Structure 1
Amino acid sequence: MNEDKKRHTVWLTPDAWSQVETSYTKDNCTTKNEYIEKAIRFYTGYLNTQNAASYLPRVLADVLDGKLGALGTRIGKLLFKLVVEQDMIANITAAVNEVHLDDVERLRARC
């Protein structure tokens, strides 16, 4: 979002503020201000469309992008851990079978 921001005073009921406090982390927002700004943009977009169906697919795409981005990051970290474990197993197998680097290079030269 735009970094050129200005301070505004907004009065909210305790119930509305409680909803903000409990929900902003669920939407992957780092601040309550970010959550409120996203809510305003969503509702304004909803009001400006004649049919909500034309607006919801774009919102769904944004939500899916956020969720899939988090999933991709998590899968990347897990794949890295898997590769490290696989490398350790390969080193242990090579040590137990007394395979040396020069033996591997000779085998590669034959292929």
Structure 2
Amino acid sequence: MASEGKVRRGFYIEEDLLEQVDGLLEQADVKSRNEFLNQALKFYIGYLTSEKIENYMLSTISSVMHSTVKDSENRMARAMYKLAVETSKLSHVIAYSHGVDEEALRKLQAKCAEEVKRINGTVSFESAYEYQKG
């Protein structure tokens, strides 16, 4: 059963090319040889028919970079969400167990904001420990 808009055609391909295709399926982020060949043909047709190959390559690279950045943003957002949940849990446990008053909390907030600004966000447990014990 052919997909809509597609036709079945037979063609010859060199065995070593087919092996290379099989080895690159995962890297090309495709599920089948057919999908790989369709993408490869579209790319090559674009290469041959583009009046300005630089523009074609720039749009292709831009598209790849856009999806890479989007994937990175999604991973970072998920990681930051999980970190915020863990931080919230820790904050609630500490606040519950130590009974910090509002004035002490305001002073701590100001001190921590100044410290993070001064050290450019590179907070370490060791330096906080040394400060508290020093």
TM-score range, shorter chain: 0.7 to 0.9
1:31 & 1:83 partners in 2: Cα distance? Answer: 40
How many residue pairs match? The answer is 99
Once the two structures are superposed, residues 37-69 of structure 1 have per-residue CA deviations (whole angstroms, 9 ceiling, x without a partner) of 111111000000233212111111121122122
Once the two structures are superposed, residues 47-104 of structure 1 have per-residue CA deviations (whole angstroms, 9 ceiling, x without a partner) of 00233212111111121122122212211221121112111111211221247xxx99
Provide the alpha-carbon RMSD of the alignment: 2.3
Question: Is the aligned partner of 1:82 residue 2:110?
Answer: no
- Specify whether residues 9 and 72 from structure 1 end up closer, same or farther in structure 2 by C-alpha distance, changes over 3 A only: farther
Provide the residue aligned with 2:61 in structure 1: 60
1:95 & 1:34 partners in 2: Cα distance? Answer: 57
Query: Which structure 2 residue ranges, 5 or more long, are not aligned?
Result: 103-134
- Specify whether residues 56 and 33 from structure 1 end up closer, same or farther in structure 2 by C-alpha distance, changes over 3 A only: same
Provide the residue aligned with 1:109 in structure 2: none
Which residue identity lines up with residue 25 of structure 1 in the other structure?
Answer: E
Q: Percent identity between the aligned chains?
A: 23
Which residue identity lines up with residue 21 of structure 1 in the other structure?
Answer: D
Length-normalised TM-score, structure 1: 0.72
Query: Which structure 1 residue ranges, 5 or more long, are not aligned?
Result: 105-111
When Rg is computed on C-alpha atoms for both structures, the one with the higher figure is 2
Once the two structures are superposed, residues 1-35 of structure 1 have per-residue CA deviations (whole angstroms, 9 ceiling, x without a partner) of xx623333333212111111121221333333222
What are the equivalent positions in structure 2 for 1:1-111 lying under 5 Å apart?
Answer: 4=4, 5-98=6-99
Higher relative contact order (CA 8 A, sep 6+): 1
Length-normalised TM-score, structure 2: 0.62
1:10 & 1:72 partners in 2: Cα distance? Answer: 42
- Specify whether residues 15 and 88 from structure 1 end up closer, same or farther in structure 2 by C-alpha distance, changes over 3 A only: same
